[in-house]
Copies of this chain bind each other. A is one copy, B any other.
Amino acid sequence: MQVKNTKQRKHIISILKDASRPMSINEIYDAIISELPRIAKSTIYRNIDQLFEQDLIEKHHFNDNEIFYLYKENNDEHTHFIICDECKRTYSLPSCPIHEIEDYIKAEGFTIKNHQIQITGICKSCAYNHLKK
Contacts and interface: CB of A to CB of B under 8 A. Distances in A.
Interface of A: 59, 61, 63-65, 67, 82, 84-85, 91, 93-95, 97-98, 100-101, 104-105, 108-124, 127
A29 to B, nearest CB: 17
A115 B113 contact: no
Contacts of A110: 82, 84, 91, 121-124
Contacts of A112: 82, 119-121
Nearest to A62: B61
A7 to B, nearest CB: 29
B108 A114 contact: no
Contact of A109 (B67, B100, B116, B123): B123
B115 A118 contact: yes
A121 B98 CA distance: 14
Nearest to A67: B65
